[in-house]
Amino acid sequence: MNANLKLYLREMQWLEDDFADSCDFELIGLSSHLPPQRLCWELNRTVGWSLQFSHLLDIAQKKGNSSHAVYRFNESGDAGQSAFHVVENKLPEGIIARFQGAAALDYLVHLSEGCEQAAELIPRLRKVKGVNYVQILDPLNSGAIEHLALIDLVDSAK
């Protein structure tokens, strides 16, 4: 193996480790026929959140860009401040999460550190009117890590 290849592999491992360290959130995929504002209304009603529109997440696609709506709910508790995000995943213009079956999922639920655990939240999400399917996704292998890892920074920059 030549020296350049060894250096490249070492740098790639460092980048993968860096992404793994910054991945302090859990990710759930939802399938729903509802538009984003209606889904968030149902989540607010059933789960007890107070999701509100936050911003549009622009994603570069092969043919142009896609703009995915992001809804946010902040929660304060004993563990400090945490945030839930609901992000449109699948649009005609493009997809954010592509792997682990996520390309077929309509929405992503981003649970920041300090939030309720994804496994505990799943049964409550299955009771939401309009939610057809719920799946836990590995953020590192979903294809969405680069777009969702810093979503809290985007919100706090406003």
The predicted-structure confidence for 9-38, as pLDDT tens digits, reads as follows 555 554 555 555 556 789 999 999 999 999
The predicted-structure confidence for 93-127, as pLDDT tens digits, reads as follows 999 999 989 999 999 999 987 677 889 999 999 99
Cα 51 to chain centroid, rounded = 14
pLDDT over 60 (residue 60)? yes
Q: How many CB atoms lie within 10 A of CB 123?
A: 9
Q: Give the mean pLDDT of the chain.
A: 84
Q: Tell me the sheet residues that pair with 55.
A: 70
> In degrees, to the nearest 5, what angle opens at C-alpha 145 toward C-alphas 144 and 147?
70
Is 27:115 a contact under the CB 8 Å cutoff?
no
Gap between the Cα atoms of 74 and 69, Å rounded? 17
Whole-prediction pTM value? 0.81
